[in-house]
Chain A
Amino acid sequence: MKGFEDKIAVVTGSARGIGFAIAEAFAQNGATAVILDLNQEDVNNAVQKIDDAGLRAIGFVADVTDSDSINNIFKEIHHKFEKIDILVNNAGITKDGLIMKMKESDWDAVINVNLKGTFNCTQKVIRYMLKQKFGVIINITSIIGIMGNAGQANYAASKGGIIALTKSSAKEFSSRNIRVNAIAPGFIQTDMTAKLPKEVIDKYTAAIPLSCMGLPKDIANLCIFLASDEANYITGQTIQVDGGLLI
């Protein structure tokens, strides 16, 4: 599926993992991918990889919790391309622990990056999308945000919050032809899951009806669909990509 020529797609947390796969997929479909992540070297490498494939990408170093710098970056992107078509709020972290023992700083950090970061980027990009009367926002949540998980209260709350934010944004911006949806991945092979103990990985994998972990590409494929005109009548939804893990 091509058709993203002339489109500008910003993906947060896209130097690696699911975010990179999403940025790469947009570039492969003709878009200019805008890589946004914390570390300059990682951003450069990610841009380079897309560039080496003969596709278009540019990069910015940014922390999604810093609303001023996010504001400036969107201003710069808009100044350069005169529009911003797609935003994927993908940047996310985990700091797991049981509620009884969870440090306040771990609660705050996860809520800040995952939930407030998504809000910040939405708020800063929306003025351009409202003006151009077109835009697609995709928020990466998690099935944990739907089902909850012992040891991930902060993460689950942040991801549940993203689902509610998605619905509210969809309602607020629908009159301007801006669609907002969420994707809830299940258990995907990335650095985030690689740091889990082997027993946990085996236990989860055994519980997946399609009996394997997902790939970042599986999430990217849905992003391409949701951002395309084929999905013109879909907004406010949370779509699971989890091999049937949560049914």
Chain B
Amino acid sequence: MDILAKVKEIIVEELGVEESEVTPEANFIEDLGADSLDTVELIMKFEEEFDIDIADEEAEKLTTVGKAIEYLKTKLG
């Protein structure tokens, strides 16, 4: 599975942003316009799509696209 492509696709779909905006440095809240409900939905979507559990303490740290990809790669790898 191409994790990077899948994660990008989910972010584009969930947050309604352009794919070009989804750079590794992009912060979900500051750059991609997510609010607190969006971030919860996003994490739930990752859990569903990749069939994993993401603990709240972990989820809180996933503030940027890069951090989320890094985390998911380690978790799934």
Binding site for B on A (CB under 8 A): 127, 130-131, 172-173, 175-176
Q: A127-B41, A172-B37, A176-B37 are in contact. List 7 more A-B contacts (CB 8 A).
A: A127-B44, A130-B37, A130-B41, A131-B41, A173-B37, A175-B35, A175-B37
Q: Tell me which residues across on chain A come within 8 A of B35, comparing CB atoms.
A: 175
In the complex, chain B residues whose CB is within 8 Å of the CB of A175: 35, 37
Give min CB distance, B62 to chain A, whole Å.
19
Contacts from B to A (Cβ < 8 Å): 35, 37, 41, 44
Complex Cα gap A173–B41 (Å): 13
CA distance A74 to B35 in the complex (A): 25
User: What total of A-B pairs shows CB separation below 8 Å?
Assistant: 10
Please indicate the chain A residues that have their CB under 8 angstroms from the CB of B37 in the complex: 130, 172-173, 175-176
Q: Which 4 A-B pairs have the closest CB atoms?
A: A130-B37, A130-B41, A175-B35, A176-B37
Among residues of A, the one whose C-beta sits closest to the C-beta of B35 is A175
Which residues of chain B come closer than 8 Å to A173, judged between CB atoms?
A: 37
Bound complex: CA of A176 vs CA of B34, how far in Å?
13
Shortest CB–CB separation between residue B59 and chain A, in angstroms?
Answer: 16
User: How distant is the Cα of A127 from the Cα of B43 in the complex, in angstroms?
Assistant: 12
Residues of chain A with a CB closer than 8 A to B41's CB: 127, 130-131
> How distant is A81 from chain B, measured CB to nearest CB, in Å?
20
Bound-complex Cα distance A239 to B41 (A) = 31
Measured between alpha carbons, how far is A117 from B44 in the docked complex, in Å? Answer: 22
B14 to chain A minimum Cβ distance, whole angstroms, is: 9
Least distance between A192 CB and chain B CB atoms (Å): 36
Nearest residue in A to B38 (C-beta to C-beta)? A130
For the complex, give the distance between the alpha carbons of A46 and B76 in Å: 47
CA distance A130 to B35 in the complex (A): 12
Chain B residues whose C-beta falls within 8 Å of the C-beta of A172 in the assembled complex: 37
